[in-house]
């Protein structure tokens, strides 16, 4: 199966466009942005989808945002969401593994809603992390979420699924309202290792539910997930 196919499907894009309006920023996203991302900083967003996070941050005062996504369908809908909201942001199509930006172009980066773990294969995720590291300025932060197969809703499935069926342990194709979607669920230590191998140091990690009591709309939209805040070294 093609991991990109799900994100180019119009049904998927419309689902995320609705979330941009009706779900909005998670409380944990807002808390961590306030804690770590000065509003004067230039922030790169990877996997922006239909613009949910960028729209919410812009409306709260973060104006220097560069939202990107690998899927053309997502970029097109993000532009529509921004236009409807009178927000002068421009979404760009970009593959996190081959970013079209100069070295040290951004103060900080954000890879929300488990986007890194939608990249199939540890070596491919490593390419994305090296690229993010490259375009960050010295001491730049990367904020991201990743499923933790030892916590939350993932734990019961992975309690019995202890050997890889296809690819790496933690790889899984989920059914959805549109097409199957690939997601990798590592343990906290496995994900931390991927990050440190790409020359990031861990600043903070916690489950979303430990950071904020998210409203029902967010919990329906997304299972609990693990936040990582890491710094370029």
pLDDT for 176 equals 80
The domain tally of the chain equals 1
CA separation for the pair 143, 152 (Å, rounded): 20
pLDDT for 177 equals 78
CA separation for the pair 172, 167 (Å, rounded): 9
Q: What is the mean pLDDT of each successive set of 10 residues along the chain, which is 233 residues long? A: 81 86 96 99 98 98 99 96 97 99 99 97 98 99 97 66 71 85 95 99 98 97 97 98
Nearest to 120 by CA among 70, 181, 175, 77: 181
CATH label of the domain that carries residue 55: 3.40.50.150
155-169 residue pLDDT tens: 666 665 555 556 899
Residues 6+ apart with CB under 8 A from 176: 6, 12
Is residue 200 a contact partner of residue 133, using CB atoms and an 8 Å limit?
yes
- Cβ atoms < 10 Å from Cβ of 202: 14
CA separation for the pair 121, 43 (Å, rounded): 26
CA separation for the pair 194, 130 (Å, rounded): 11
Residue span of the structural domain in which 162 resides: 5-232
pLDDT for 13 equals 79
pLDDT for 78 equals 96
CA separation for the pair 167, 164 (Å, rounded): 6
Phi and psi for 186 in degrees, rounded to 5? -95, 175
pLDDT for 3 equals 73
Q: What is the 3-state secondary structure (H, E, C) of the chain?
A: CCCCHHHHCHHHHHHHHHHHHHCCCCHHHHHHHHHHCCCCCCEEEECCCCCHHHHHHHHCCCCCEEEEECCHHHHHHHHHHHHHCCCCCCCEECCCCCCCCCCCCEEEEEECCCCHHHCCCHHHHHHHHHHHHHHEEEEEEEEEEECECCCCCHHHHHHHCCCCCCCCCCEEEECCCCCCEEEECECHHHHHHHHHHCCEEEEEEEEHHHHCCCCHHHHHHCCCCEEEEEEEC
Is residue 233 a contact partner of residue 38, using CB atoms and an 8 Å limit?
no
CA separation for the pair 116, 47 (Å, rounded): 8
54-81 residue pLDDT tens: 999 999 999 999 999 999 999 999 999 9
pLDDT for 6 equals 86
CA distance between the termini of the chain: 36
């Amino acid at each position: 199966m093609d991991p990109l196919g799900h994100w180019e499907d119009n049904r998927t894009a419309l689902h995320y466009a609705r979330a941009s309006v009706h779900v909005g920023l998670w409380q944990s996203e807002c808390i961590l942005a306030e804690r770590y991302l000065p509003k004067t900083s230039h922030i790169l967003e990877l996997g922006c989808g239909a613009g949910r996070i960028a729209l919410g941050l812009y409306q709260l005062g973060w104006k220097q945002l560069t939202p990107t996504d690998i899927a053309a369908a997502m970029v097109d809908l993000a532009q529509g969401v921004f236009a409807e909201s009178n927000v002068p942001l421009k979404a760009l199509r970009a593959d996190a593994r081959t970013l079209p930006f100069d070295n040290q172009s951004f103060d900080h980066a954000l890879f929300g809603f488990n986007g890194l773990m939608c990249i199939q294969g540890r070596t491919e995720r490593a390419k994305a992390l090296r690229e993010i590291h490259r375009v960050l300025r010295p001491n730049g932060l990367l904020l991201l979420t990743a499923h933790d197969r030892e916590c939350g809703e993932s734990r019961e499935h992975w309690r019995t699924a202890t050997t890889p069926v296809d690819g790496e342990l933690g790889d899984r194709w989920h059914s959805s309202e549109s097409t199957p979607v690939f997601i990798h669920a590592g343990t906290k230590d496995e994900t931390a290792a991927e990050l440190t191998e790409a020359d990031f140091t861990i600043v903070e990690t916690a489950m979303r539910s430990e950071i904020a009591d998210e409203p029902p709309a967010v919990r329906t939209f997304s299972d609990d997930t693990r936040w990582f805040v890491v710094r370029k070294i």
